[in-house]
Chain A
């Protein structure tokens, strides 16, 4: 299998100090330069093989969405390599990115905000085709768009309506059709089902699974709901404060979690019939701010097994199985 996407040491930061007065502070008779920087993604690496579903999971603010946006370069990466089909795209110009974006498409979380309310559905699906393929005629594009809408389960007569006439699940189907319009190889799905009711969520998850086989897609799937992630993924990366603390196959993560944070996440999920995945853990505290990152291991403040070394030195990634990696001092 060939690798569709390889991410190496990706770093993303946001400078929150705008303007000179926020950057320079006067203290003790001196002027100090003090910048407030949110460290959203702190050096993460993973790879996605062709035809594979890789999921990033974690709580809000852990940098999942920022990672996705950085990969498609909606935000320029600060450091690191983004290798798409053997080519490092991290230093590509806007123009060069156009052809890459034809092959990487995105599905967004909020089906109410990601469709232009003034466009008819057919136009929404046709637009990317006409943009990326200058030789295509409008008639061809329309025909193809109707086909795609049918594939995602929308009847052709619905194609000439506006987004507000659709329910949330239907809108998400439209978003999926739009992403498929240019025959991408990789789809980045950022929480595609979290805004939907469970019965609709199941429909969309099934659709995403079917499309993967039909169009030979790879997915980068971003979600906070672990039961959804387990259902759809081949491999998983667990993120905490901008780092991947553990990654491995779905089986590794769910049956043999090594990092205390992964265990904490698994024990926190409410389950039907109390079929808990790992023994209950006493959970304390909340995620620290990404502006003042803790020293040492980022999880040390909440970790029940924290030792002295955890407060000083950041743990290195250790290989546990073939694809299974975790970063924790307990594993040394």
Chain B
């Protein structure tokens, strides 16, 4: 990765540099919005306690609302600090239930590869996935109860079943951006770049600014942009 000026990596640059995907007219954006409203988009998030799954979920919800789409999200709290699985979901558009059932996820956002695999039953053949490849080995493995699957096998299984899989080393990209703690925003940058949601880059950026206190904003925006750049073809 090249070092970039903090905070303004893509701001103002996107439209010019990637006209095919981003130089869309207002009409096209309108149509995408309409399509999302009509059809709805369901996103399923999975990760391990402490990875910032809920903040990431919130970002999608806020960004969708800022785009004038309806959105609701669902979280499961409680065990987050104790190393358990944290699952959440966002539904965008004309869907009323906030949860994602089996075979309902249009987008899988996995902050940990093993958990991506465990969420396979939420996915369908058209599901697009973003998967962070940095493993967090559960203590059950350390205690000899099971083995952690081979990362290549995990990704092969996901790619075999799903329509698209963006796999990225979110922790490494976050470290480059300033702190491994922003890995969740690297993943979200990749989600934004996948074009699965009718949300403009500027809207994502505005919501990042709203969601993070000023002290943490720059770091998280850098991380988001790193993920965004990574997932752009």
Bind each other? no
Residues of B near any A CB (own CB < 8 A): none
